[in-house]
Amino acid sequence: MAILFYCYIVMLLTPSATCWLPAARQSFMRRRAPSAVPRPPSAARRLPLLSTILLLTLFSCRQPAERAVRPAFYHWQTRLELSGQERELAEQLGVRRLYVKFFDVDWDPDLNGPAPLAPVELAPETYAGLELAPAVFITNRTLERLPPGQAPELAGKIFNKIFSLAAQDSSLRIREVQLDCDWTGSTRDKYFELLSSLRERLSRRGIILSATIRLHQARYPARTGVPPVDRGILMFYNMGQLQRWEEPNSILNLEAAEPYLKGFKRYPLPLGLALPLFRWGVLFRDGEMIKLVNNLPEQRLARDPKYQAIGPGRYQVLEGTFLEGHYLYPGDRIRLESVTPEQLRAAAGRLRELPWPDTLELVFYHLDSVVAGQYGVEELGGLEGLLGERNGNSVAR
């Protein structure tokens, strides 16, 4: 069919030319031609119209191009000192940017005000060649207790603290700052005022401001509000019910996420995507969640007779003991949670259908020695390939 259409176009453009067609077809066309017809207009006069038809036909049949995926990492430890293994993983993936937690902001009851906690220590020689984007985590209770009208002052303190810590690396050039806060309806106005003030300060230096966006916030922007920033990162993790013992995996639960993904519309801000690479143990006592233990491997429990396996990834404490500095009593329970490569591929396969920008930043949370040893380039690079595929109507422009 395509060959016939092409031949028809050529014949119209050059009436004297003979298209490659079966002889019987050419004979049929000659027999059907009327004996007297007006001379057709010249090819030059037909060219604009026919060119338009041809271009429309080609574009209507064109397959959607692949989406460009740009990998990055979060670094959430107090000291930024990449090991050789961590650096190798970043280089093999083609990572150029690290979102580095510079400090937390929490409410200090002694000061009766917000205070910076856990400031970052930089070891520039270990991350040379990588761009750093400072990230600042702000607790909701800070915003709840912040007096009205003091958000701009807090923005100024955050701005100054970022650059005082950045002075540890004389070669550091900041292009983006990110704020991380799971705002609520009661803290939204103060948080958005804080963002607006900080964005104004940063823009004077040519720096953009981004913010983390939780799944429910991305799904219902009219209800939760859209932060006044330049771009956002959708945090696609921690979507399950952490405090329920029956929860299969609160870190990554596609069944729990599906109601938010179904009917997902283009978000008002350009979005990147963050996927989880971390693990933890969730401690329960008397049916209630009491503590999280980061990076808790199952081998730590399976080899210790003080713990009894009571199900896949679930253990019960048999006698009192310490676990990573926490004292556990007999009867306490532990639910281990992590994310397998298969779960990550399933998530990427579902998420590629959402309306992402033509260039999607894929940020893995987070880079450390455990992640570097557990996930390989093949697994993580394969996620980039999955997210790079897209449907014809899936791209937000």
pLDDT of residue 391: 55
Strands 280-285 and 288-294: antiparallel
The helix/strand/coil state of 315 is strand
Using an 8 Å Cβ cutoff, are 95 and 71 in contact? Answer: yes
Q: Residue 316: pLDDT above 70?
A: yes
Q: How many CA atoms lie within 13 A of 132 on its CB side?
A: 30
Strands 321-323 and 326-328: antiparallel
Token readout for 42 is: 């010249």
Q: Residue 366: pLDDT above 80?
A: yes
Give the mean pLDDT of 141-145: 97
Write down the domain spans for the chain.
2-31+41-61, 68-277+339-388, 279-337
Q: Which helix (H) or strand (E) holds 92?
A: helix 84-93
pTM over cut 0.85? no
pLDDT of residue 178: 98
Give the mean pLDDT of 78-90: 96
The helix/strand/coil state of 372 is helix
Which architecture does CATH list for 68-277+339-388? Alpha-Beta Barrel (3.20)
pLDDT of residue 372: 87
Q: Residue 121: pLDDT above 50?
A: yes
CB-based contacts of 66: which residues, under 8 Å, 6+ apart? 388, 389, 390
Residue of 113, 155, 123 lying closest to 136 (CA atoms): 155
Q: What is the pLDDT of residues 148-196, one digit of tens each?
A: 999 999 999 999 999 999 999 999 999 999 999 999 999 999 999 999 9
Q: Residue 9: pLDDT above 80?
A: no
Q: In which residue are the tokens 């607006």 written?
A: 196
The helix/strand/coil state of 324 is coil
Q: Which residues share a beta bridge with 107?
A: 114
The helix/strand/coil state of 106 is strand
Residue 390 — very low, low, confident or very high, per pLDDT cuts 50/70/90?
low
13, 156, 157, 388 from 144: Cα distances, Å: 73, 18, 18, 40
Token readout for 72 is: 């990055």
Q: What is the pLDDT of residues 90-114, one digit of tens each?
A: 999 999 999 999 999 999 999 999 9
CB-based contacts of 89: which residues, under 8 Å, 6+ apart? 367, 371, 372, 375, 377, 380
Residue 66 — very low, low, confident or very high, per pLDDT cuts 50/70/90?
confident
Angle (CA) 59 61 67, round 5° = 75
Alpha carbon distance 120, 166 (integer Å): 9
